[in-house]
Structure 1
């Protein structure tokens, strides 16, 4: 692989490698998730040391043809301060989803833009936007990697949704109709259809964020079940951490 330069990127995860170096999993706009080694990054004198932080947009250069490439340069691209509190945990949650669900070297520029939008919300003083931003990113992540069915049709029959009907998003069956007396979380057909239109918008992240607040509580458990199903876990590590901190 030829050297890649001036590539927008975020650090998703980091591992120690030798006494002085790090292996980083980074999300790039044009090359997807990439593993790079940052040689000497742990040394006090390293230029990498104050730069390679999560939830901060970078411009990086890397090269090599091995599975783990070599980081050549990294610069902070500016934008926002580091999130704190619940927003910081939410950012680590997004990173865990990407680490579990996104294959290496599989570029998704639209997903990168959605992640950048979500990080911008997390770094701002907009607590009311936190949940809509997370739900919007979850939907866009699932759609980008081919795990989200069309939200304006019943998955098994491809029949259109009735505006007032209730439909649940189920991991193994997609979008299915349920009875009014069914206690499961569900949305009405017109709500699912509005989400599909938002996902199809030219600016899907911001458009979806604007739609979600009216039914975020109902959408959350359905997306959680779908994500856990595809991640192969009952609870994500970051969610368990959130619950442990809340119990304290």
Structure 2
């Protein structure tokens, strides 16, 4: 949020993660629409009769009132804010099955890639629009929703090149040619067809990103789901410093156990 901008007294938020702070309180990692990721203490939230217990749940849109920012620490970081009020804002029920793992996967991406107090309202809206599209089974609709959110996240963070142009030459893509998406070199032509995307697919994805509609982006992702999954996985692995996501590893371990 720009310096001097007015912070609303009540704002939309999702709980990405929480940590025990004391016997009765929690530290929340909130994703808010107006202020981005925030560290917030919820005093008394663990008490048996606290009204916050039923509100501070993951994947539920809530309305929160927060204390004003206090002094900064010696390192220059802002102090943890205090949760004053929280209420459910309505919406979908908690996901289950594969949708639950997918939701935690999205949360882990946000936790590891978003800086604190860096607002991304369009990304907040994309996250809210993605959650209802996640199903108990890993169907094509759920996979398209995940790929669409991954693309939006990379784009919002400036980690995605213009998908309609070959990066080295800035020339339009050949619709029939296959291209690789490199974290260092951008969109590059390649002769190997494995896990690559066609020029026409990349142009459609870029058009959907510019359009801004989550539904349009999900539709554009439907054409090349397996290749797109592999390409985006490589990008995230690079930008996460080649550290595997815990949620993905838990999903793989569970699949191996069930097979």
Does 2:40 align with 1:45? no
Rounded to whole Å, the distance in 2 between the matches of 1:197 and 1:3 is 33
CA-CA distance at 1:183 after TM superposition: 4.5
Structure 1 residues 154-195: Cα deviation after superposition (integer angstroms, max 9, x where no partner): 11221211111110111221110001xx14311111110010
* SS of residue in 2 equivalent to 1:5: coil
Give the gaps of 5 or more residues in structure 1. Answer: none
Structure-2 change in CA distance of 1:178 and 1:126 (3 Å): closer
Give the gaps of 5 or more residues in structure 2. Answer: 71-78
**Equivalent residues in 2 for 1:146-161 (5 A)?**
146-161=158-173
Does 2:257 align with 1:245? no
Q: How many residues align?
A: 245
CA-CA distance at 1:56 after TM superposition: 0.6
Whether the 8 Å contact between 2:163 and 2:203 is mirrored in structure 1 is yes
Other-structure match for 1:185: 195
Other-structure match for 2:104: 92
Q: What's the RMSD between the two structures over aligned residues?
A: 1.7
CA-CA distance at 1:5 after TM superposition: 2.5
CA-CA distance at 1:4 after TM superposition: 4.0
Match of residue 140, structure 2, among 120, 125, 128: 128
Rounded to whole Å, the distance in 1 between the matches of 2:222 and 2:14 is 27
Whether the 8 Å contact between 1:4 and 1:62 is mirrored in structure 2 is no
Whether the 8 Å contact between 2:7 and 2:34 is mirrored in structure 1 is no
TM-score (norm: length of structure 1): 0.94
Match of residue 66, structure 2, among 42, 62, 65: 62
Match of residue 119, structure 1, among 131, 135, 140: 131
Other-structure match for 1:210: 219
* SS of residue in 1 equivalent to 2:165: coil
Whether the 8 Å contact between 2:18 and 2:27 is mirrored in structure 1 is yes
CA-CA distance at 1:125 after TM superposition: 8.4
